[in-house]
Structure 1
Amino acid sequence: MSGRVQLIQELKSLRKGRGLLAGRIEERVGPTLRSACAVADGDGLTVIRHKVTARLVELAEQLPDDLRLAALAAFAICADADQPLYKDRLRWTATRVDREPRTVRRRVDEAITMLADLAAASEKRAERTARWHTTELNVALVLSGPRPEVFEHHRVTAGQDDLCELDLSISVPPDEATLFHGGTLTTTHHGGVRLALPKPLSHGESHEFAMLFHPRRLSGRLAYVPSRMCERFDLRIRFGEAPEEISKLDGVFQEDLAGRRHRGELCRLNPADEVHLRFGTLTPGLAYGARWDR
């Protein structure tokens, strides 16, 4: 059983009864949840409750408003949702969002799945950031020509000494990418792409590289899904033909991209038919960028 599936099961078990207000909380917090919340073997009841509560609140802050309320009430984290039974907390939430309890129950299940995904992404970020992370990414997309062009300028920082290569998350085939400067592209046995650096980096040392992509199609959106920590992301898009609507993707779950369930902040073009978007402190595994409709 994967850690994600195990964490979902442990969270569903934790929401029962009094949730985080249960008397013997150490028996309600499973091993996967303990690891996700940095619970140590010697921690007492108060410390365990505090650590799990703080971690769930931190993760829930990244959920949509309705799912955040459903999740916090389910675990009895909300001050007004301290009813001793889970079904009573569902009713309390239902009155706040004007929905049936069974609808709220489904939202709690959806929120728990997203919490597990966020926790997994955070753990991967911590592992990967140990080697290197992106300090700044600047992307320029040009749609006014015969074929889309995407220019990327990366600035990364090493998290260890003797860093010689970077594992890159490239969503287009390597033959559609051109490296302008900053190293040499290589392909791994598993089909991944790596950047061999001109010289090893020391801990804390920065490096820059730039690439040009010619994707065959973009399907009405450009989404950057960081696989590790990214401090800043700057996106500029130049349209050849003004779209009917442009919306900002700011920390969107990947499953929401295809179904158009997400409608972000609407963006306006400047007189040159361009849009400029900025993002800070990106969450690995979530999508950032823009979506447009013709």
Structure 2
Amino acid sequence: MSAVDLAGELKVLRRGRGLAAPQLAERAGPALRAVCGTTEDDENAEIRRRLTDCLSEWTRSLPDDLQTAVLAAFGLHPEAGNPFYQDRVRWLAKYLQRDDRTARRRIDEGMDRLAEVAVASTNESDEAEKSRPSRRWHTEELRVALALDQPIPEAFEFRRIVADADDISELDLALTLTDSVYRGEAIGTDDLRVDVFHGGRLAGRAMESTDRVGLALRLPQPLRRHGKHEIALRFRAEIRHPHFVCVPRHPVDLFDLHVRFASPIPAEVVQLERVFQDDASDEAARGFVLTPDATGEVHVQFRNLAPGFAYGVRWRVPDLGSHGSAN
């Protein structure tokens, strides 16, 4: 499937009443149906629901102006529910304080970018499914406290896992430090220190790539299906890229993150949810703006994390860099 084909179908779909069109089954093209998982037997209501969910999800990865343009074009923006496409274009032009031609150009740009996001998301999901370990356990609760105001930044991780099969004796964990890519060298024990406070024993450590460290945690005793177990870890590493995200390889029901910043407090802190890991440092990947409290802390929560996507925060501090990511 090509992004060009999908972009063409999206531009057809935006016409007229957009997603409110009565004969949506006839207007949704094969590429769009494929990426959204609709079938020939689906009724209009089901197709509309699936398309709305997919388009709303994909637009989260777009810059704010393109996100607004795309949502308005499809009639999904709460303030642009006009029944005709031309009226929605006029609304966008007024919103952007530009002329209609600029608004149309912004919509076209958004559609092209949206198609790229959709195709990349589909391909990445397929690759992740192929490479993902068998579903033998998942995380019920992951709580991380990241302290950036220490001489060496520290992250405390408290995790409760649930066995989805019998005889779970070892957990495969990982942590990524993007900065090693730029240095062109593997991550040594001095770059990333890992301490187990309770719940197991570190039985192995290996480089899965030039920036990703795989960790094997041996449990005190094997878990049976539905059994639960808690672990506590501490990670210490230099944070040179200003973001910290969780990119789970197994499903996570709840991710609770506290970040304590050093002075000066960042000029901007943004919450990132379900973005590609490579986009976590890209300022074009926008999210909710967070305001640190009087102690310089932010607190965010995420539920039902999808393996392979990034969840966390990004901050903007002049002349600072690195990132860590829990997996």
TM over 0.5: yes
Inter-partner Cα distance in structure 2 for 1:135 and 1:189: 26
- Quote the residue 2:297 is aligned against: 275
Alignment of 1:66-85 (within 5 A): 66-75=65-74, 80-83=81-84
- Quote the residue 2:321 is aligned against: none
Inter-partner Cα distance in structure 2 for 1:257 and 1:54: 24
Inter-partner Cα distance in structure 1 for 2:153 and 2:271: 22
State the shift of 1:153 in Å. 1.8
**Please, which runs of 5 or more residues in structure 2 have no aligned partner?**
178-186, 319-327
State the shift of 1:279 in Å. 1.1
Q: Would you say the 8 A contact 1:251–1:283 is kept in 2?
A: no
Letter in 2 for 1:59: E
State the shift of 1:288 in Å. 0.9
Q: Would you say the 8 A contact 1:246–1:290 is kept in 2?
A: no
* Equivalent position to 1:137, from 115, 121, 142: 142
* Equivalent position to 2:110, from 107, 119, 133: 107
- Quote the residue 1:266 is aligned against: 291
Q: What is the percent sequence identity of the aligned residues?
A: 25
> Within the alignment, does 1:243 sit opposite 2:242 as a pair?
no
Secondary structure of the structure 1 residue equivalent to 2:237: coil
Residues 163 and 95 from structure 1, CA distance in 2 versus in 1: closer, same or farther, beyond 3 angstroms? farther
Inter-partner Cα distance in structure 2 for 1:38 and 1:168: 31
- Quote the residue 1:219 is aligned against: 241
**Please, which runs of 5 or more residues in structure 1 have no aligned partner?**
none
- Quote the residue 1:52 is aligned against: 50
TM-score (norm 2): 0.65
- Quote the residue 1:208 is aligned against: 230
Secondary structure of the structure 2 residue equivalent to 1:135: strand
- Quote the residue 1:230 is aligned against: 252
- Quote the residue 1:152 is aligned against: 157
State the shift of 1:22 in Å. 7.9
- Quote the residue 2:25 is aligned against: 25
> Within the alignment, does 1:177 sit opposite 2:193 as a pair?
yes
TM-score (norm 1): 0.71
- Quote the residue 1:39 is aligned against: 38
State the shift of 1:267 in Å. 0.9
Aligned residue pairs, count: 282
Residues 105 and 219 from structure 1, CA distance in 2 versus in 1: closer, same or farther, beyond 3 angstroms? same
| Higher RCO structure, 1 or 2 (CA under 8 Å, sep 6+) | 2
Inter-partner Cα distance in structure 1 for 2:168 and 2:82: 49
Inter-partner Cα distance in structure 1 for 2:52 and 2:254: 26
Residues 213 and 95 from structure 1, CA distance in 2 versus in 1: closer, same or farther, beyond 3 angstroms? same
Secondary structure of the structure 1 residue equivalent to 2:290: coil
Secondary structure of the structure 2 residue equivalent to 1:207: strand
Letter in 2 for 1:184: L
Q: Would you say the 8 A contact 1:169–1:193 is kept in 2?
A: yes
Residues 155 and 62 from structure 1, CA distance in 2 versus in 1: closer, same or farther, beyond 3 angstroms? farther
Q: Would you say the 8 A contact 2:243–2:280 is kept in 1?
A: no
C-alpha RMSD over aligned residues: 4.1
- Quote the residue 1:10 is aligned against: 6
State the shift of 1:66 in Å. 4.2
Inter-partner Cα distance in structure 1 for 2:168 and 2:39: 32
Q: Would you say the 8 A contact 1:15–1:75 is kept in 2?
A: no
Q: Would you say the 8 A contact 1:179–1:212 is kept in 2?
A: yes
Q: Would you say the 8 A contact 1:152–1:211 is kept in 2?
A: yes
